[in-house]
Every structure is written in C-alpha cells, then in structure tokens.
C-alpha cells in the first residue's frame, strides 16, 4: 500500500462507521476515496448547494454552521481528524441533494472524499460490508439529528429572547 493510502486505511479503521468492516473491504474502499486539501477559510460545503460527497477528515478542523436567517448563524459542530460529514449522501441517489449547512475549514484541512454513488455501489456489491456499515450510519445519524434539533431549538429560543 502507498504511504498515504496506508495512513488513510488506518484512519478508516478508527471511524465508527467502519468499525465492523473487514480489512479486505477497508483496503478496497480506501482506494475509492480521493484526497482533497483545503486552506483555512475555504468552504468545503455551501448550504443550499447540490453536492454528492462524503468526507473523512484526516487532518485539521472544520466548523459546521446553519443559517437561521439573514442575521443569525448557529454553529452545529466542530469536526476534526477522524470525523466525517456528508453522510446524507450515503442514503440514496438524490439528484437534488442540497447541503443543509455550511462547512468551513477552520485550519488547513486534508480530507478524503467519495461520492455517495460510489459508496452505495460498493455496499450493494458487498453485502457483508453493507449491513454493519448502514447500522452504524443510522446510529450516527440519529445522534446527529437529536443534537442538531437541540441546538437549533436553543438558537431559536435565544433569537426570540433578543426580540
């Protein structure tokens, strides 16, 4: 394995979505990802734009924010090495898959990306990979949706108190 491919393989092994994935599947999967580099302040994802990528952060930090209105943004998360984003792209092939938040690099960022279609195709041809992967994905989505609902509720309450 190439050096960066090997380090990415080790990173994938540590991510909850891939914790029950065989080494064989991880090796195959790691070759499907592409390396991307972002500078501090770069937008990885713009709210409302159509995108189809799933990101694994290898180095750096990103901030995820949601625009509540023209005057108020709320920070939903800070993600760093070992975290992932764009997980809704793994649920199906929606041609009009619009981002629900902004993702901006807080530091220089190295990440690995794969289109949702490529990962879905991989899962469909590897059912022993798919079942545990989608189980972990659903657990993660549930936690993130609950956390986001709580944060948005608090932001709206704060906004109403200011008026």
Provide the residue range defining the domain that includes 77.
3-154
Segment 128-156, tens digit of pLDDT: 999 999 898 889 888 878 887 777 777 66
- Other beta carbons within 10 angstroms of residue 77's beta carbon come to 17
Task: Please write the tens of the pLDDT for every residue from 39-77.
Answer: 999 999 998 888 889 999 999 999 999 887 666 677 888
Per-residue pLDDT band for 3 (boundaries 50, 70, 90) equals: low
Residue 163 placed within a domain: no
Say how many domains are in the chain. Answer: 1
Separation of alpha carbons 116 and 132, rounded Å:
17
- 8: domain CATH number is 2.60.120.10
Q: Is 162 inside any structural domain?
A: no
Position 77 scores a pLDDT of 87
pTM: 0.82
pLDDT of residue 158: 63
Q: What is the pLDDT of residue 4?
A: 61
In a domain, 63, yes or no: yes
Q: State how far Cα 71 lies from the chain centre.
A: 26
Kindly state whether residue 25 falls inside one of the protein's structural domains: yes
pLDDT of residue 76: 84
Answer whether residue 119 is part of any domain.
yes
Does 52 fall in a domain? yes
CA torsion angle 73 83 33 9 (round to 10): 170
pLDDT digits (tens, 9 = 90+) for 73-114: 778 889 999 999 988 767 766 666 788 889 999 999 999 999
Helices (runs of H) and strands (runs of E) counted in the chain = 4, 8
Residue 96 to residue 49: CA distance in whole angstroms:
9
Is position 160 within any domain?
A: no
């Amino acid at each position: 394995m190439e050096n960066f491919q090997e380090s990415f393989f080790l990173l994938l092994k540590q991510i909850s979505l891939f914790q029950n994935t065989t080494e064989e599947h991880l090796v195959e999967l790691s070759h499907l990802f592409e390396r991307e580099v972002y500078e501090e302040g770069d937008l990885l994802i713009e709210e409302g734009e159509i995108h189809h990528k799933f990101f694994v952060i290898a180095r750096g930090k990103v901030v995820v924010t949601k625009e509540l209105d023209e005057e108020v943004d709320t920070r939903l998360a800070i993600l760093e090495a070992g975290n992932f984003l764009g997980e809704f792209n793994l649920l199906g092939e929606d041609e009009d898959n619009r981002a629900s938040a902004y993702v901006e690099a807080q530091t220089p960022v190295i990440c690995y990306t794969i289109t949702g279609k490529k990962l879905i195709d991989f899962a469909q041809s590897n059912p022993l990979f798919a079942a545990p992967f989608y189980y972990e994905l659903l657990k993660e989505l549930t936690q993130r949706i609950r956390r986001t609902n709580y944060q948005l509720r608090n932001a709206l309450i704060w906004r109403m108190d200011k008026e």
